[in-house]
Amino acid sequence: MTGGGRQSGARARLGGQSSVDPKTEDKSAPCPSSSGLVVEVSGVSTRFAGNLVHDDVSLAVGRGEILCLVGGSGSGKTTLLREIVGLLAPARGEVRLFGRPVLDPDPRARVGTRRRFGMLFQQGALFSAFDVFDNIAFPLRELRLLDEDLIHDLVHIKLAMVELEARHARLMPAELSGGMVKRVALARALSLEPELLVLDEPTAGLDPDLADSFVRLIGSLQKQLGFTVLMVTHDLDTLAGLATRVAVLAERRIIADGPPDEVIEVDHPFIRSFFCSEHARAAMRRK
Ligand SMILES: Nc1ncnc2c1ncn2[C@@H]1O[C@H](COP(=O)(O)OP(=O)(O)OP(=O)(O)O)[C@@H](O)[C@H]1O
Ligand SMILES: [Mg+2]
């Protein structure tokens, strides 16, 4: 259960030989990870001035998994996600996405990797000066490959996917409810049809009904589209509703990693207090 198998899988991949000739390889082209792992975090340490946030963190996510990362406030969950998507370089260790270093020195390879995942930040983070349509269209326009008619159609498909209506397309972010902001941010994260969706506290700030319906939406899109999910959450209902695996970040490292019903049995003070209520334990066992 500890995830040791997956982690050693990640290490084996790091030591493995590539069958691709580096001289002829198109670094911007999608390439499947030979290990089948979508995310490989290997021996990552992170330090901000005197503050050691991660100490030798390893974590791997396989294709089609929904991995929920939990941990106390300030334990370094968002920082780890930022390292995983290449927004921050760890002090030590490496992150690979789809079998390639996320911080590949080749800018074409980095762009190729960037197009294969979508990210929903902790605050929803829409561009406040853009309306709903232009927010969702942003990654499509960045490609510089699609004409405006096609972008129009694609934006409306994404709006429908997140259960918003065409009439919402011209609203500004300030005119949206909290739940709508999350849906637009999700539509934007899905605009390039990513293989990996990275979510940081997707239900934070939503009331329980809205949170429930947003979790159901993510679950049903994941079933339809088959993408891999890496999600930070502290919300037990979200965990119980979605997670195929749970990893726990505490004391600067991953202290438990496995199926939800096994992780809740791990004897550690953080895990005991996080999953303390009978309601929580019953919900996790139903998974
Ligand atoms: N850019 C930064 N510069 C300095 N310190 C930082 C920076 N980003 C994060 N930290 C510190 O790293 C630690 C982990 O922060 P992080 O935001 O990753 O925690 P978290 O687990 O996501 O917390 P929360 O559950 O509250 O969102 C905190 O001590 C934070 O102050
Ligand atoms: Mg955070």
Q: Are 59 and 257 in contact (CB under 8 A)?
A: yes
CATH assignment of the domain containing 261: 3.40.50.300
pLDDT of residue 143: 83
Ligand 1 atom nearest residue 234's Cα: 25
Position 148 in a domain: no
pLDDT of residue 7: 36
Position 244 in a domain: yes
Q: Are 139 and 130 in contact (CB under 8 A)?
A: no
pLDDT of residue 2: 46
Ligand 1 atom nearest residue 82's Cα: 18
Count how many domains the chain has.
Answer: 1
Rounded average pLDDT per 10-residue block, the chain, 287 residues: 38 27 42 74 96 97 96 95 97 96 94 93 85 96 89 94 93 93 93 94 87 90 94 88 94 95 91 78 64
pLDDT of residue 124: 66
Give CA–CA dist 256/70, Å, rounded: 10
Position 178 in a domain: no
Q: Ligand 2: distance of its center to the CA of 270 in Å?
A: 17
Beta strand spans in 152-208 (E): 196-200
The ligand with the least distance to the CA atom of 69 is 1
- N- to C-terminal Cα separation, the chain: 16
Range of the domain at 62: 4-8+32-116+194-285
Structure tokens at 217: 């939406």
Position 223 in a domain: yes
Q: Residue with the nearest Cα to atom 10 of ligand 1?
A: 48
Which residues does a 6 A CB cutoff place in the pocket of ligand 1?
48, 51, 53, 71, 73-79
Give CA–CA dist 43/141, Å, rounded: 36
